[in-house]
Amino acid sequence: MTTTSRIALVTGGAGGIGRAICARLAADGYTVVLADLEPDAAAAELGAVPQVLDVTDPLSRRAAVARADELGDTDLLVNCAGVLRDARIGKLEAGLFRRLTEINLLGPLALTRLVAPGMARRGRGAIVNLASRAWLGTFGSTAYSTAKGGLVGATRSLALELGGAGITVNAVAPGFVDTPMTDALPPKIRRRTLDAIPVGRAGTPEDVAGAVAYLAGAGYVTGQVLVACGGRSIGDPHVA
């Protein structure tokens, strides 16, 4: 398949939020490379280009970027692949901490290194990282919060470094969004979390996709974290 349209490479494209991002970007006119561990079914459903990707594997990352570049100009990288599995500090083993960091932080940075030179050559490009409201601090999620907090720091630093080359780097920090990732939460935690959201509902993947699409095209906005959390980062609506 050869095209001349703008290419968007979306990691984690087969997940709850990733699918909505791919659908939204396709509607916005991008040719979407849907990259994930098992991309085929989601890509077929959305009419995207499937690409097997493990963000922790250097060869796999290179193959994904090469595939996108082959199709046209990779103008947009959305780093959406992520995992939440975490533990309280007493049970947080180094291996789990490392794994969460590799997927949620080091993968996105390595992919940025691969796409940035082409974007810089063309003098245009956008990178949108899926952080999380959790970077502000979340009970029992030290590894996840640390990785997402690192991603926020990287987003801001890279915006400074790449801005002169015409590349924007931003992050979306979703709050609680209904996806396979949050399905696993115990009902009691889920109820309490929903109760603490000022707009009174969980976010939808489409809510997040809208924020990503905005940042993908907001050429004068860079180094920003767009918190899409229904107001939860402001405070608890039940506490005066």
Residues with catalytic roles: 144
Nearest to ligand NAD by Cβ — which residue?
A: 15
C-alpha–C-alpha distance, residues 126 and 163, integer Å? 10
Buried-exposed string 7-22: b where 16+ CB fall within 10 A, e elsewhere: bbbbbbbbbbbbbbbb
Q: Closest separation between CB of residue 23 and ligand NAD, Å? A: 13
Shortest CA distance to 13 belongs to which of 37, 156, 224, 189?
A: 37
Rg, Å, the chain Cα set: 17
Strands across the sheet with 167-174, in order? 49-52, 31-36, 6-11, 73-79, 125-130, 167-174, 225-228
Determine which residue in the list 27, 37, 41, 189 makes contact with ligand NAD, applying CB under 6 A. 37
Told to check if 189 binds ligand NAD by CB under 6 A, we report no
Q: Would you say 71 or 171 has its CB closer to ligand NAD?
A: 171
Told to check if 197 binds ligand NAD by CB under 6 A, we report no
Told to check if 108 binds ligand NAD by CB under 6 A, we report no
Q: Closest separation between CB of residue 57 and ligand NAD, Å? A: 8
Told to check if 103 binds ligand NAD by CB under 6 A, we report yes
181 Ramachandran zone, left/alpha/beta (phi>0; psi -120 to 50) = alpha
Phi, psi of 141 (to 5 degrees): -130, 50
Q: Would you say 30 or 176 has its CB closer to ligand NAD?
A: 176
Told to check if 49 binds ligand NAD by CB under 6 A, we report no
Q: Closest separation between CB of residue 209 and ligand NAD, Å? A: 10
Containing H/E element for 92?
none
Q: How many residues are present in the chain?
A: 240
Q: Give the orientation angle of helix 107-122 with respect to helix 142-162, to 10 degrees.
A: 20
Determine which residue in the list 47, 180, 219, 235 makes contact with ligand NAD, applying CB under 6 A. 180
Residues 6-35 binding ligand NAD (CB under 6 A) are 11-12, 14-18
Residues 115-174 binding ligand NAD (CB under 6 A) are 130, 132, 174
Q: Would you say 146 or 179 has its CB closer to ligand NAD?
A: 179
Containing H/E element for 7?
strand 6-11
Q: Would you say 117 or 180 has its CB closer to ligand NAD?
A: 180
Give me the residues that bind ligand NAD (CB under 6 A), please: 11-12, 14-18, 36-37, 53-56, 80-84, 103, 130, 132, 174, 176-177, 179-182
